Structure 1
Amino acid sequence: MNNDFVAETAARFDIPGGAVGVLHDGQEHFFNHGVTSVENPLPVNEDTLFLLGSVTKTFTATAIMRLVAQDRVSLDAPVREYVPELTLLDDREFTVRQLLNHTSGLDWGTLADTGEGDDALARHVAELATLKLIAPVGERPSYSQSGFNLAGRIIENVTGQTYEQAMTSLLLEPIGLGNTHFDRDAVMTRRFAAGHEKGEIARPWRHWRGNNPGGGIAASVKDLLAWARFHLGDGDGVDLAEMRRPTALLRGSNLGDAIGVGWFLREIDGVQAIGHGGSSNGQFAELLLVPSRNFAVVSVANQGPDGIPFNQAMVRRALEHFVGLLDRDPEPLPYNAVQAAEVAGGYDNDAMVMTIDDTGAGLVLEVLIRPEIRESAEMELPADHAPFPMALLPRDEYMITDGAFTGQRGFFTRDTQGVIIGVDLAGRMFGRVG
């Protein structure tokens, strides 16, 4: 692992700027490449701020666990005990733990901009009255951004502070994360990365404040290694073992084999690891810890759509170089016309439509944001991706085999008669159309 490998991989994926940090046996190693922005370039270093997207969820979950340690929150208490104002499309009750392991049945989220005021999160939670409910409580994991934003509202109501103030007092200051920020004004006075989409600056730089608990942190690679060091340590009263305990199994997912509290859990080359990825508008992050090897790696990149395979390449090289672990994709099944015909067709959910086409020689998957959502969006949404080649795996699973999401896995769902009625992609359910 060296800067030459980072530079060569960045050139292959056309990444303007990236940074990698490795923590191994207490020693920190940094590898940096490129610039913060193609329009206003500054060299990327280990102190450059990158948006972390959903890696933020590990911070929100840990803050909840800090409140658990203080006997102010119980993981198995109903969420409405802490957020009595919560209104949903039905009267379901789910626990804090079910919120943090994505088994509440809430859909991915809402696209309503609730502003930048101190009431942004409260207003976001009010929007959940219109959010689709996609499964009974506890039936299956389904990744929910709004679920974690709701967890942020728990933190606000319990502490009497804004989410950002509470995160600072519960985590950022005690751990010493001085270069980890939610506030855009704090970010803009420091060296920070701009997101890019296919060589152009991605705007807006960050979405609205109500999404902060699920994805609003900007941090440096150096601070992320300090965050990893905390999670490889004794937790300072936080029950880290509870966060790593499997509470919901995952199927056909490159996110992991199971979910703990805020962490995805998986086995790499026979060794247990925990991690979380994240994406925002043209910025991507990947954080992975191997507790038994006292090892952590973080990779960040500022270009879409290929920031994901860049980060994957960095993480896999660091695993192999520092701790001798090989992380490989599963071997796809050969093309089978009968199986291909069975899965080909249209699928959709509230936000996106999916088409799986059988070319006669292979399968191709395309996912598009619904046109009506593009038309009504209060911001510019990312461009749709070109179709991806895909291949089937055993047990009704599949894998994308080329492009920016190479290695992304999912699975098909059958009804009681064995007919395929849905497909999962990135933890989100698409129902069959027609």
Structure 2
Amino acid sequence: MRKRVLAALVLSGLPHVTAPALAADPSARVAAAVEQAYRPLLKAYDVPGIAVAVTREGHSTVFTFGLADRQRQRPVTRDTLFEIGSVSKTFTATLVSYAQGLGRLSLDDAPSRFLPELRGSALDRVSLLDLGTYSAGGLPLQFPDAVADEAAMIAYFRRWQPSAPPGTQRLYSNPSLGLFGAAAAAAMGGDFAELMETRLFPGLGLKHSFIRVPASESERYAWGYGKDGTPIRVNPGVLDGEAYGVKSSAADMIRFVEAHLDPTRLDPPMRQAVQGTQVGYFRVGAMVQGLGWEQFPYPVSLERLQSGNAEPMRFEAQPAARLDPPRTPTGVTLFDKTGSTNGFGAYVAFVPAKRIGLVMLANRAFPMPARIAAAHAVLEALAAEEP
């Protein structure tokens, strides 16, 4: 079987498939779908490099295209570190869910229970669930430029006034999700980055995922490329680690996806944490908002998936209908999350009932519709494979 697959890869000019992943024996059809969906993006959007990882029935493969560093001509590998942008929010949500499982917090708690500096502010009437689902009542996409340190952040949150009652609208927000993670770290009595790097990532079996990239991993860290082609990496910011600060590899990210497809492989506290992020809390337009992940009934048309990830969903307030009770992960559901920094773009999607998933990491933030369309085509090929 492996010889037939390798022959198909060579004859069709498909991307490099990393050697450790070849044991998964991806079908020629899936490999061709990855090639056809992603290689054209390199030229169309001047993307230096892309890593795509797919999984089906517990077998994963990493495909790599292009360069992690144009100046040094370093190729992308399965272990190249990319900034995953807002896909980081799914890890923050997992930490919150982990803290909940340990009894350190409840999603009904106000953030001021753990951050006493916020007591007496409008956030006393906002729950952690509201923060984790962007439904606090109008927290913006970004902090104002003047919020450059912790003191300014606390002052901002103390002054903030909602524009809508909590739980009635969704407005995508880094400060909202950032405060969600900061409250969890305080509830656990630790530093957010340290908790992620010493407890969460190891508990998920991730070996090349970081908030703070250590010197020993610096050679793996790709350069991102801005709109003008200049090499760039993410700038430090208030609550950046919580909202968009994870750097990870395709190999690690597909392992994270596989943990969602089969949480039984995890120790009980981490299993419960992962399962907690698959609960849906609000219906918002074409999708259901959970903690970190967004949800769509599967099969899902490309049009519906595009609508759920369109600019109005990222930049405009949307009516939100609370699900009572919350929707547990029953039936066939696609979970997804997009992410970007100034120099990187990411997309992750998986369908637990079908045991399929995909990760795309790139060192340019090319348009979201192109990311969704490419992923949708490959997921369709994965779903069409015979058991």
TM-score (norm 2): 0.74
Q: Offset of 1:123 from its aligned partner? A: 5.6
- The alignment status of 1:272 with 2:307, answered yes or no, reads no
- Identify if the C-alpha distance between structure 1 residues 176 and 65 changes in structure 2 by more than 3 Å, giving closer, same or farther: same
Query: 2:233 & 2:361 partners in 1: Cα distance?
Result: 19
- The alignment status of 1:227 with 2:256, answered yes or no, reads yes
Q: Offset of 1:38 from its aligned partner? A: 2.8
Q: Offset of 1:240 from its aligned partner? A: 4.1
Query: 2:208 & 2:146 partners in 1: Cα distance?
Result: 26
Q: State the SS of the aligned residue for 1:7.
A: helix
Q: What does 1:187-206 correspond to in 2, within 5 Å? A: 189-198=218-227, 200-206=229-235
Does the 8 Å CA contact 1:197/1:282 hold for their aligned counterparts?
yes
Which ranges in structure 1 are unaligned for 5 or more consecutive residues?
326-434
Q: State the SS of the aligned residue for 1:177.
A: coil
Query: 1:40 & 1:198 partners in 2: Cα distance?
Result: 20
| Partner in structure 2 of residue 299 of structure 1 | 360
Picking from 142, 147, 152, the partner of 1:109 is 142
Q: State the SS of the aligned residue for 2:116.
A: coil
Does the 8 Å CA contact 1:114/1:123 hold for their aligned counterparts?
yes
- Identify if the C-alpha distance between structure 1 residues 88 and 113 changes in structure 2 by more than 3 Å, giving closer, same or farther: farther
- Identify if the C-alpha distance between structure 1 residues 11 and 203 changes in structure 2 by more than 3 Å, giving closer, same or farther: closer
Q: Offset of 1:209 from its aligned partner? A: 5.6
Q: What does 1:222-371 correspond to in 2, within 5 Å? A: 222-232=251-261, 233-234=263-264, 236-237=268-269, 238-251=272-285, 257-269=287-299, 271-304=332-365, 306-324=366-384
Q: Offset of 1:29 from its aligned partner? A: 1.2
Between Structure 1 and Structure 2, the one with more helix by share is 2
Q: What does 1:40-59 correspond to in 2, within 5 Å? A: 40-59=72-91
Query: 1:91 & 1:70 partners in 2: Cα distance?
Result: 24
Does the 8 Å CA contact 2:94/2:276 hold for their aligned counterparts?
no
Q: State the SS of the aligned residue for 2:219.
A: coil
Does the 8 Å CA contact 2:110/2:123 hold for their aligned counterparts?
no
Does the 8 Å CA contact 1:37/1:201 hold for their aligned counterparts?
no
Q: State the SS of the aligned residue for 1:200.
A: coil
Query: 2:290 & 2:384 partners in 1: Cα distance?
Result: 25
| Partner in structure 2 of residue 70 of structure 1 | 102
Q: Offset of 1:275 from its aligned partner? A: 1.4
C-alpha distance after superposition, 1:349-370 (max 9, x if no partner): xxxxxxxxxxxxxxxxxxxxxx
Letter in 2 for 1:140: Q
- Identify if the C-alpha distance between structure 1 residues 199 and 12 changes in structure 2 by more than 3 Å, giving closer, same or farther: same
Q: Offset of 1:300 from its aligned partner? A: 1.3
Does the 8 Å CA contact 1:98/1:138 hold for their aligned counterparts?
yes
C-alpha distance after superposition, 1:188-238 (max 9, x if no partner): 623122222345125454332631101000000100011112222235332
Q: What does 1:123-162 correspond to in 2, within 5 Å? A: 124-131=153-160, 133-162=162-191
Query: 1:75 & 1:46 partners in 2: Cα distance?
Result: 36
| Partner in structure 1 of residue 118 of structure 2 | 86
Does the 8 Å CA contact 1:122/1:153 hold for their aligned counterparts?
no
Identity of aligned residues (%): 24
Does the 8 Å CA contact 2:223/2:233 hold for their aligned counterparts?
no
Letter in 2 for 1:147: S
Q: Once superposed, what is the RMSD of the aligned Cα atoms?
A: 2.5
Letter in 2 for 1:275: D
- The alignment status of 1:17 with 2:46, answered yes or no, reads no
Query: 1:145 & 1:88 partners in 2: Cα distance?
Result: 22
Does the 8 Å CA contact 2:140/2:172 hold for their aligned counterparts?
yes
Q: Offset of 1:49 from its aligned partner? A: 0.6
Does the 8 Å CA contact 1:148/1:214 hold for their aligned counterparts?
yes
